[in-house]
């Protein structure tokens, strides 16, 4: 199963069928969601975390992972039931680019606890036909 969002799937469809595609974002924003599907990034000191598209990511075949730590900072409140991490093209709102369920979820973060994903902890895969 692919980690792509519907938005990215539509972009690939348009590339293949219409010869058009949107300009890629220069910054990719990482967000976290709880087990109800609610974004909880604003419950952390750094909100959505921006990474430079390109240098802040490592690629291997059709997958990519964070090459730098993703530091959300301290939780401003107790954050319960964290489950998914997603990528967006904007610091607020914007289009969701990809999402996956983290291992060992759901989990809770207490007020004052720092949430950081070390380099290589966030891996997204774009399944191709050889990986079915």
Q: Count the neighbouring beta carbons within 10 Å of the beta carbon of residue 59.
A: 11
Enter the tokens of residue 105: 């979820």
Decide if 123 contacts 63 (C-beta within 8 A): yes
- 97's enclosing H/E stretch is strand 96-101
Enter the tokens of residue 7: 């938005």
Which of the residues in the chain have pLDDT under 70? Answer: 1-2, 128-132
pLDDT digits (tens, 9 = 90+) for 54-65: 999 999 887 899
Confidence at residue 57, expressed as pLDDT on a 0 to 100 scale: 95
Q: Where are the beta strands (DSSP E) in 35-125?
A: 49-52, 57-60, 63-66, 70-74, 79-88, 96-101, 107-109, 114-117, 123-125
Domain boundaries, given as residue ranges, for the chain: 6-131
């Amino acid at each position: 199963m692919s980690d792509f969002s519907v938005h990215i799937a539509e972009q690939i469809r348009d590339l293949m069928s219409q010869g058009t595609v949107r300009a890629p974002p220069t910054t990719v924003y990482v967000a976290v969601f709880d087990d109800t599907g609610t974004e909880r990034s604003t419950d952390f000191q750094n909100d959505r975390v921006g990474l430079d598209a390109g240098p802040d990511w490592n690629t291997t075949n059709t997958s990519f992972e964070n090459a730098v730590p993703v530091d959300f900072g301290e939780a401003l409140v107790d954050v319960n039931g964290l489950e998914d991490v997603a990528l967006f093209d904007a610091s607020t709102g914007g289009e969701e680019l990809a999402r996956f369920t983290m291992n060992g979820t759901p989990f809770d973060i207490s007020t004052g606890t720092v949430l950081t994903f070390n380099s290589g902890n966030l891996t997204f895969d774009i399944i191709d036909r050889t990986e079915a």
